[in-house]
């Protein structure tokens, strides 16, 4: 489903190279985890997948279902089934969460040539998904992410993901800011979305999340390159040994 080939990318404004030849393949139905120390380029990789304009791809390619997405803008990528749950969700004052969700869902349906959902149909879907994620109905009336706790912001991201039903879900440190109960709720929400026709790229620092969302593969990103790939046992190894050993071996 996703094939990242020798991807080099830099910050458009300063020219600083962040990704230095990332190679990664994620198959349909697979959950791939990306781990790595702070500053490795994990968030940058997620932004570049989503099509954020502050970065420039200088070499390599990103293939999604066999086709390059580099020329597609973020809305086109979303319509094609790509979703990014942000590490730091933005606060949007003045836009009720419910209004935002409805606009996001309907603009995506429009881009796919589907009809708009009726309000009752939309309300039913939001309420079902919100209940699964233990999101209070009152929260949906508040402006998106404004004054939400860290955990509430992350749950709101997963609610968007559940409603939009993407094919490729990229989750950037969704576990940060979650207490253990919220971690379980969010993980259950994600696991409920696992399916043979959907893939996940789960970015995390901690093995803890991967006890709940068990990955098929684990990749270590360091200084803009994947320096080690393995199965779920690699996450346990990193937890006990730290990143230093794997970095030393790669050097």
**Residue found by looking up tokens 């993980």 in the block:** 187
Strands 199-203 and 67-68 turn out to be unpaired
CA dist., res. 221 & res. 185, Å (int): 27
Using rule CB under 6 A, residue 43 touches ligand ADP: yes
Please name the residue ranges forming H helices in the chain: 42-50, 74-79, 97-111, 119-132, 137-141, 150-164, 180-193, 207-212, 233-241, 243-250
Strands 217-222 and 225-230 turn out to be antiparallel
Using rule CB under 6 A, residue 53 touches ligand ADP: no
Using rule CB under 6 A, residue 44 touches ligand ADP: yes
Site string for Mg ion, 2-41 (x = CB under 5 A): ------------------------------------x---
Q: How many CA atoms lie within 13 A of 181 on its CB side?
A: 3
Using rule CB under 6 A, residue 147 touches ligand ADP: no
Instruction: Tell the smallest beta-carbon distance from residue 16 to ligand ADP (Å).
Output: 5
Q: Which of 42, 102, 154, 198 binds ligand ADP (CB under 6 A)?
A: 42
CA dist., res. 107 & res. 128, Å (int): 21
**Residue found by looking up tokens 């190279």 in the block:** 17
| Most distant CA pair in the chain, distance | 58
Adjacent-strand bridge partners of 25: 3
Considering only residues 39 to 68 of the shown chain, the ones binding Mg ion according to CB under 5 A are 42-43
Q: Which of 54, 76, 181, 241 binds ligand ADP (CB under 6 A)?
A: 54
Instruction: Tell the smallest beta-carbon distance from residue 48 to Mg ion (Å).
Output: 13
Angle at 16 (CA atoms; ends 251, 26), nearest 5 degrees: 60
Count of residues that interact with ligand ADP, criterion CB under 6 A: 13
Using rule CB under 6 A, residue 16 touches ligand ADP: yes
Run of H or E residues at 78: helix 74-79
Instruction: Tell the smallest beta-carbon distance from residue 56 to ligand ADP (Å).
Output: 11
Q: Is 7 within 8 Å of 56 (Cβ atoms)? A: no
Q: Which span (36-44, 118-126, 133-141, 146-154) binds ligand ADP, by CB under 6 A?
A: 36-44
Which of residues 42 and 225 has its CB atom nearest to ligand ADP in the complex?
42
Is residue 84 helix, strand or coil? strand
Using rule CB under 6 A, residue 39 touches ligand ADP: yes
Q: Which span (11-19, 95-103, 123-131, 178-186) binds ligand ADP, by CB under 6 A?
A: 11-19
Interface with ligand ADP (CB under 6 A): 11, 14, 16, 18, 36, 38-44, 54
Interface with Mg ion (CB under 5 A): 38, 42-43, 87
């Amino acid at each position: 489903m996703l094939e990242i080939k020798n991807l080099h990318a830099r910050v458009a404004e300063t020219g600083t190279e962040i990704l230095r030849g990332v190679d990664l393949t994620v198959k349909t139905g697979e959950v791939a985890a990306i781990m790595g120390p702070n500053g490795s380029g994990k968030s940058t990789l997620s932004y570049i997948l989503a099509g954020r304009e502050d970065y420039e791809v200088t070499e390599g390619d990103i293939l999604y279902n066999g086709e390059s997405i580099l020329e597609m803008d973020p809305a086109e990528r979303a319509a094609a089934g790509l979703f990014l749950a942000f590490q730091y969700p933005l606060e949007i004052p003045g836009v009720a969460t419910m209004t935002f969700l409805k606009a996001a869902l309907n603009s995506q349906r429009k881009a796919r040539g589907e009809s708009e959902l009726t309000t009752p149909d939309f309300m039913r879907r939001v309420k079902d998904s919100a209940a699964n994620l233990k999101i209070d109905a009152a929260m949906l009336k508040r402006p998106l992410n404004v004054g939400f706790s860290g955990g509430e912001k992350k749950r709101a991201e997963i609610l968007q993901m559940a409603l939009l039903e993407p094919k490729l879900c990229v989750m950037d440190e969704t576990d940060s800011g979650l207490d253990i109960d919220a971690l379980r709720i969010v993980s259950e929400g994600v696991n409920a979305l696992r399916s043979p026709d959907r893939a996940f790229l789960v970015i995390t620092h901690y093995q803890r999340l991967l006890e709940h969302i068990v990955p098929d593969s684990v990749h270590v990103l360091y200084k803009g390159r994947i320096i080690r790939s393995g199965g779920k046992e690699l996450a346990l190894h990193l937890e006990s040994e730290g990143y230093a050993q794997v970095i030393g071996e790669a050097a």
